Structure 1
């Protein structure tokens, strides 16, 4: 199953946006700020305390899952930060911070009175925590010992994992072969367990080099390679048979 957010590399998907601005509309900066504040308030780090009522966990994974849970037709219709807004709104509703009816009422109220002041309780303390969070960072590296199955130069085949909710594996790499370029030292995990997709406990991450002619036969430019950083769950021996799902 290829989820709609990982259809890159396929032909006939329509025009490609070449927009280079990070933020196109002013409201997009606020959505980014809300997301960043939610991550900072969730972080299990020694950061400044705040009076915020936000008491659940929010990560990049939650943002991505929320956006990707949109109806596929809506996913392709909305712009980048519109998808973020949908995912964030759904999260607050699902976790009981606000009801859909209350959100609709507040939205209509601000439409009618756009100059109405926004809530600001605890904003300065939250700003301090966000700044320190951005300075400290939040690494996916874990202090555990793992043994890498493959070495630099090994030919590997990319698995076709059953992606139900979220995946870190691009669709166009599934069942393709490549060469291990780098075995990153240490072990890494994702921000959440991806279920059947297979990223849970910390594992090796490989940089795998692909020949574009193998990915897009007869439709690739010459003299370049494509590199992908892939969790060990996605990487198998090249002599492993193609999965039943892809057959």
Structure 2
């Protein structure tokens, strides 16, 4: 959520897409499925609250793969490429680059396979059903990779506190919308427990379990009165690492 990924309040970007379909093309469903299976096989599930038999799965996939992994791939794209490609094309690019970077396939092998299916679009795709993997995917879809933990200390802030949002150094991936940096809001809700992200963002500050707050902002304080409807409140769920005292 930096550069081309946080567009709130930026003018002259052209018409906003009002497409309501989740999948516009049939191949997009397959990309979503690949991503889902990768998350269901991800090594980080060994530490999830729901027990998963990760070390017993019949798979050669041994890496962590989370939503953060997918988003990092998109956020690393050159901005002009980012706006050129469709939503699931960005997913495909990020997933493909991940497999090349991790050594599951070489760039040359990927290029050969791409050329093959372009020349023969009706060629049979790989199909290796496995009941254990299917059961793992079903379990993951039902139970997720919840990062909820018991909070072992008091949250720094309470409902009604006025807070200021941090402005950490830019990193590969962040959960902080750019338009909220250095803005002032009010804690509307302190969620019970603590939450982890399964991925450390380094200097950005999230990774270990911490409180999460729902913070209310007057949109005029974010974008100015001339660009905001009167009496409009924006709510954002933010990790404690992004929240500072107002003074």
Q: TM-score, normalised by structure 2?
A: 0.91
In 2, the alpha carbon distance for the partners of 1:126 and 1:108 equals 29
Q: How does 1:160-175 map to 2 (within 5 A)?
A: 160-175=167-182
Note the 1:41-190 alignment, pairs <5 A. 41-42=41-42, 43-44=45-46, 45-47=51-53, 49-190=56-197
- 1:232 pairs with one of 226, 240, 245: 240
> Greater shift after overlay, 3-12 or 34-43?
3-12
Tell me whether 1:30 sits opposite 2:36 in the alignment: no
Task: Provide, for residues 6-32 of structure 1, a one-character-per-residue CA deviation record: whole Å limited to 9, x for no partner.
Answer: 233322222211111000100000000
Quote how far apart the aligned CAs of 1:112 are: 1.3
Distance 2:131 2:124 in 1: 16
1:196 matched residue in structure 2: 203
Cα deviation digits, residues 179-225 of structure 1 (max 9, x gap): 11001111111130011111121111111000011111121111221
Consecutive unaligned residues in structure 1, runs of 5 or more: 240-247
CA deviation after TM superposition for structure 1 residue 117, in Å: 1.5
Write out per-residue CA displacement over residues 85-131 of structure 1, whole angstroms, 9 at most, x where no aligned residue: 01100110011000011001001111112222111224444222211
Alpha-carbon distance in structure 1 between the residues aligned to 2:68 and 2:212: 18
Q: How many residues align?
A: 239
Give the Cα separation in 1 of the matches to 2:185 and 2:169: 20
Could you tell me whether the CA contact under 8 Å between 1:50 and 1:122 is conserved in 2?
Answer: no
Query: Alignment RMSD, CA only?
Result: 1.7
> Which position in structure 2 is the counterpart of 1:6?
6
SS of residue paired to 1:228: strand
Aligned CA distance change for structure 1 residues 221 and 236 (closer, same or farther; 3 Å): same
Distance in 2 of aligned mates of 1:159 and 1:112: 51
- Give the structure 2 partner of residue 242 of structure 1: none
